[in-house]
Chain A
Amino acid sequence: MSTLALLLNQSVNALSQAALLFFLGVGLTLIFGIMRIVNFAHGTIYMLGAFIGYTLVNVSGSFWVALIGAPLVVGALGWAFERGILRWLYRRDAHAFLMVTFGLALVAGEAVRLLWGPDALQVPPPPVLSGVVFLLDEPFPVYRLFLAVAGFVVAIAIWQLLERTRLGLLIRATSQNAEMVHALGIDVSLIRSGVFGIGCGLAALGGVLAAPLVTAAHGMAATAVIDAFVIVIIGGMGSFLGSLIGALLVAFVQVFGNYYLPDFALAFMYLVMLIVLVVRPGGLLGKEA
């Protein structure tokens, strides 16, 4: 195909990839911004979204139900989990936290394997999103275009939530100075649980959206948590804009790297992370980890 068509094709491809990565990363960074902890189980939650999505599609026959339902279910589970178990861990040091969420990732991963079986599961996209559309006379999967648009929409939505709404204000305030917010008479623990739930919901959304592309599989969790972490490292822990930039950067590097040097695609992502860590250890836009 012509160079322009190729560039466009791959760029939209990268945007769709960036959308998935963004859903992963923004949840992790929001959670870190509020609670200063890294949720190792984040990748497993992403995977959970995919599997629950699979079940919802099979039960209801509609992809859209799964798209709305899975994030809600997982977000609620996350909220409950934070209120029930995690909040007792804040006094402990960061390592204990990391290890517990790591243990959780293992337990949840095993639970998924037991509930849904060891095989990867196919999740068909809805008929309206199957098929191709033509960009500059070259076919391009509609679903990926949908992903890119979805990513854009959600990014705007979250941005508006953070900047324009009271909840967003509370979230930003709590991430900067939780004690002050508490002193103002607001229940900070509710904000924390809420953000954790939202973060999990976003990851699950990413999982559901990713499922038609990559199938709901068990290897998802490990790759996802690393991807999420790489993005957040690059963009900076706790920075919403940083997770957006990180997702875009990683996606473009991956997609174009994959096209020109397919065997080294994986290495590219790590290379970018490495360079960022060397040059700006706090991430491009971040607060200190």
Chain B
Amino acid sequence: MGRSSPLALLAGLGVLGLLIAAPFGLPVFALTLLTELLILGLFAMSLDLMVGYARLVSFGHAAAYGLGAYSAGYILLNTSLPLPFAVFLAALLTGVVAVGVGWVCTLATGVSFSMLTLAFAQLLYAIAFKWVSVTGGSDGLAGIPKTPGPFGTTLFSSRFGFYYFTLACLVGAFLFCRMLVSSPFGAVLRGIRENEAKTLSLGYNTRLYKIAVVAVAYALGGLAGALFAPFRGFANTELLFWLLSGQVLIMVVVGGAGTLIGPILGAAFFLMLEHQLSIYTEAWALFFGLVFIAFVLFAPEGIWGLARAWGERVKLKGVLHG
């Protein structure tokens, strides 16, 4: 992954500009949809850190989302902590728990690692049902408020304000991830991805790096969940269900693993299908699964990879004919 070309940078700034201007031009329901997209995009991007950059395939990333959502929900319902603080605290909690999760799951590698992540998510799912006093059991948490603050401001509680807060979280997380993967730490991750045994023999304690990336990925996934809770006002066991883990993994693969942007596109693709197709057919989820399989088989680089390849071809044609 080299440095961005000036064109890519310009395009990125352009998109950012559009996103900043969006609330002023869009009808209410569209803005809601866009906020949902940003949250889902953050969720998918967080998984990309694990899957795309360290090849740690998680089948249980819903655990991060659910943990973040429940934590934020609980904090917002039971304390008067302002929204932004509650959200960040929930993300932090998720990250801390994830250190333990990472420690356990990295006892194994490959498929066993993946199944352990799923097992952990199932465990959380079961706990969410049982621990009624904290999680509300099968009903979940409802009526989660967008607590005003700090200093009594309702900035983050308004529709516009919450949108910008979410956008800021996504952009911030993106920049953080970019920095991470371009750092020495990121170089080691790349080594682990391509040849873990060699990386170990070079003197890196690869397990620690893996645990660290799991913790960061879960923390960011938890951030997404923590944004979801006040956004929709509820948190329930669906957020911990393996179906969601599967869907976010599909977003990453279909969007393009290892690119950070790709998964966000994957999330957009997913939302679009969900909203458009579900009008026509009940079987849209089945269709989505088939699309996923097709991508794994025939276009493993995902949408973003396809776009890049197309861009390369166009450039090449320009060079040849120009």
Contact = CB atoms under 8 A, between A and B. Distances in A.
B293 A233 contact: no
Interface string B174-192: 0000000000000000000
Give chain A's interface secondary structure class. Answer: helix
Nearest to A99: B296
Contacts of B108: 233, 277, 281, 289
A107 B290 contact: yes
A4 to B, nearest CB: 32
B246 to A, nearest CB: 5
A226 B114 CA distance: 11
A225 B55 CA distance: 22
Interface stretch (A8-16, A90-98, A156-164): A90-98
Contacts of A105: 246
Contact of B283 (A98, A114, A281): A114
A126 interface: no
A38 B123 contact: no
A237 to B, nearest CB: 9
Interface residues of B, number: 38
Contacts of B242: 222
Contacts of A98: 57, 111, 114
Interface in A136-174: none
B286 A94 contact: no
Contact of A289 (B104, B111, B243): B111
A274 B286 contact: no
A123 to B, nearest CB: 24
B286 A222 contact: no
A223 interface: yes
Contacts, number: 93
Given A95-B57, A103-B296, A110 B110 contact: no
A256 interface: no
B118 interface: yes
Given A266-B126, A274-B107, A106 B112 contact: no
Contact of A96 (B110, B112, B115, B300): B300
A107 B293 CA distance: 9
B119 A103 contact: no
Interface of A: 38, 89, 94-96, 98-100, 102-107, 110-111, 114, 222-223, 225-226, 229-230, 233, 263, 266-267, 270, 273-274, 277-278, 281, 289
Given A94-B110, A95-B57, 14 more contacts: A96-B296, A96-B297, A99-B292, A100-B293, A102-B59, A102-B249, A107-B286, A110-B285, A110-B286, A114-B283, A222-B242, A229-B115, A267-B123, A273-B119
